[in-house]
Amino acid sequence: MLMVLDIVCVTHATSLDNEAGVASGQTDPGLSRLGMRQAAELSARFAGERFDLVVCSDLRRSWQTATIGFRGRLDIVREGRLREVDYGTLARHPTAAIDAVRLDHVEIPFPQGESWHAAVTRHGDLLADLAAGQSRVLVIGHRATYVALQHLCAGIPLAEAVADPRPWQPRWDYAFDGGAAPWRAAGGCRGNDALSQRSVACGVRRRMKRRFGRAESAIAFSM
CA distance 124 to 220: 24
At 187, is the pLDDT very low, low, confident or very high (cuts 50, 70, 90)?
very low
Average pLDDT, the chain: 85
Report pTM: 0.83
Instruction: For residue 172, give the nearest of 149, 195, 191, 151 by alpha carbon.
Output: 149
CA distance 14 to 21: 11
pLDDT (tens digit per residue) in 56-85: 999 999 999 999 999 999 999 999 999 999
At 208, is the pLDDT very low, low, confident or very high (cuts 50, 70, 90)?
very low
- 10 Å CB burial of residue 136 (0-12, 13-18, 19+) is middle
SS3 content of the chain, % helix, strand, coil (to 5): 45, 15, 40
Cβ neighbours of residue 115 closer than 8 Å, sequence gap 6 or more: 85, 105, 106, 107, 108, 109
Mean pLDDT of the region 38-53: 97
- Is residue 218's pLDDT more than 50? no
Domains of the chain by range and CATH? Answer: 4-212 (3.40.50.1240)
